[in-house]
């Protein structure tokens, strides 16, 4: 599978000591895995948090086959004892190895690159479909790469927009497969069950297009004072969006025209409360909002 894409903002893939020395495939893969997990959970499958306590591990000494020991995401992306089933090679427009040097804040905008997914071991069509959708959703509604998510603090600007991109071209996309087949494949009980209410699940996302919120308005959405220092409102959805200290943030807003924003909640009720608040108090237009279930429906 080859996907040609173009950066719309700087792209950050991680680096050494806070500077990006080159494009790191591992940063992109980590980001793709995150979207892949979100889609798997959204379709009713299981995906562990690879950084959490209950992550998967493969032990070849155990009689259970790999898929029984692993969640659907680890089955493709690998984990302790089990290697990732594909390799990502990044090429430039002339299909040479990518060698454009990033700047201080990451790879520049309007750079074209080709992501070439090379199969290292047999990959099921269902996995190819999910991987393809992960790239698509990140492109249409989210971002890729990015600095370690940090909670908004005060009015300090935490870097500019990062990680927006468009897909320019694609080939080798799995054709003979659809969502229904993928859902069956995820649910036939072959994968390790692992669920956690708090983990991001595509169904409980909200996505905003053509609009975004600035820091002060985000603080209002979170139930914080204008300077972001005090908690002044404690609605259920606001507590959920604020999350726990030290846990990555749950709202992302991008100024780059035409604007984009997304975030996630732990369930449908809180997602709907958030969407109502966005419409009624923060001037987000109904036609610019989509929920994750609607996005899943389009796949
Ligand atoms: Zn796992």
Which pLDDT tens digits describe the chain residue by residue (299 residues)? 999 999 999 898 887 767 788 888 998 999 999 999 999 999 999 999 988 888 999 999 999 999 999 999 999 999 999 999 999 999 999 999 999 998 877 899 999 999 999 999 999 999 999 999 999 999 999 999 875 443 333 444 445 788 999 999 999 988 889 999 999 999 887 899 888 878 899 999 999 999 999 999 999 999 999 988 999 999 999 999 998 766 667 999 999 899 999 999 999 999 999 999 999 999 999 999 999 999 999 99
How close is the Cα of 75 to the center of ligand 1, in Å?
7
Per the structure block, which two tokens stand in for 111? 């750079």
How close is the Cα of 55 to the center of ligand 1, in Å?
5
How close is the Cα of 46 to the center of ligand 1, in Å?
8
Strand ranges of the sheet holding 251-254, from the earlier edge strand across to the other edge: 251-254, 260-264, 205-209, 289-291
Phi/psi class of residue 19: alpha, beta or left (left: φ > 0; alpha: ψ in -120 to 50)? beta
- Whats the size of the chain, residue-wise? 299
127/40 Cα distance (integer angstroms): 10
How close is the Cα of 100 to the center of ligand 1, in Å?
34
275/286 Cα distance (integer angstroms): 9
Question: Is the sign of the CA dihedral 111, 20, 159, 253 positive or negative?
Answer: positive
Specify the pTM: 0.93
How close is the Cα of 163 to the center of ligand 1, in Å?
25
How close is the Cα of 77 to the center of ligand 1, in Å?
9
How close is the Cα of 215 to the center of ligand 1, in Å?
35
Q: Which of 33, 44, 30 is nearest to 201 (CA)?
A: 44
175/179 Cα distance (integer angstroms): 11
How close is the Cα of 250 to the center of ligand 1, in Å?
21
How close is the Cα of 66 to the center of ligand 1, in Å?
11
Give 107's DSSP letter. Answer: B
Cα distance between the two ends of the chain = 18
How close is the Cα of 186 to the center of ligand 1, in Å?
13
Q: Which residues face 97 on adjacent strands?
A: 91
How close is the Cα of 198 to the center of ligand 1, in Å?
16
Is the preceding peptide bond at 258 cis, omega within 30 degrees of 0? yes
How close is the Cα of 40 to the center of ligand 1, in Å?
11
- Secondary structure of residue 225 in the 3-state scheme: coil
How close is the Cα of 196 to the center of ligand 1, in Å?
12
- Secondary structure of residue 41 in the 3-state scheme: helix
pLDDT given for residue 246 in this prediction: 63
How close is the Cα of 222 to the center of ligand 1, in Å?
31
260/164 Cα distance (integer angstroms): 9
Q: Which of 255, 254, 215, 221 is nearest to 235 (CA)?
A: 221
């Amino acid at each position: 599978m080859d996907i040609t894409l173009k950066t719309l903002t700087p792209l950050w893939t991680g680096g050494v000591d806070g500077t990006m020395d080159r494009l790191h495939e591992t940063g992109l893969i980590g980001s793709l895995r995150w979207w892949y997990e979100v889609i798997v959970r959204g379709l009713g499958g299981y995906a562990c948090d690879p950084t959490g306590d209950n992550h998967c591990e493969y032990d070849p000494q155990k009689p259970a086959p790999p898929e029984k020991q692993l969640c659907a995401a680890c089955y493709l992306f690998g984990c302790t004892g089990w290697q990732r089933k594909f390799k990502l090679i990044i090429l430039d427009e002339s299909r040479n190895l990518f060698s454009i040097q990033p700047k201080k804040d990451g790879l520049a905008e309007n750079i074209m690159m080709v992501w070439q997914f090379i199969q290292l071991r047999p990959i099921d069509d269902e996995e190819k479909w999910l991987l393809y959708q992960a790239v698509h959703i990140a492109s249409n509604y989210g971002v890729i790469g990015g600095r370690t998510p940090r909670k908004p603090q005060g009015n300090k600007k935490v870097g500019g927009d990062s990680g927006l991109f468009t897909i320019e071209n694609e080939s080798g996309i799995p054709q003979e497969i659809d969502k229904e087949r993928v859902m069956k494949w995820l649910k036939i009980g072959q994968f390790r069950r692992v669920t956690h209410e708090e983990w991001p699940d595509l169904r409980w996302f909200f996505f905003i297009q053509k609009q975004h919120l600035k820091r002060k308005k985000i603080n209002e959405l979170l139930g914080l004072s204008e300077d972001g220092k005090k908690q002044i409102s404690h609605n259920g959805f606001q507590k959920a969006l604020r999350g726990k200290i030290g846990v990555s943030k749950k709202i992302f807003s991008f100024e780059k025209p035409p604007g984009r924003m997304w975030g996630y909640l732990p369930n449908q009720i809180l997602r709907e409360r958030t969407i109502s608040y966005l419409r009624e108090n923060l001037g987000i237009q109904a036609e610019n909002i989509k929920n994750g279930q609607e996005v899943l429906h389009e796949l």
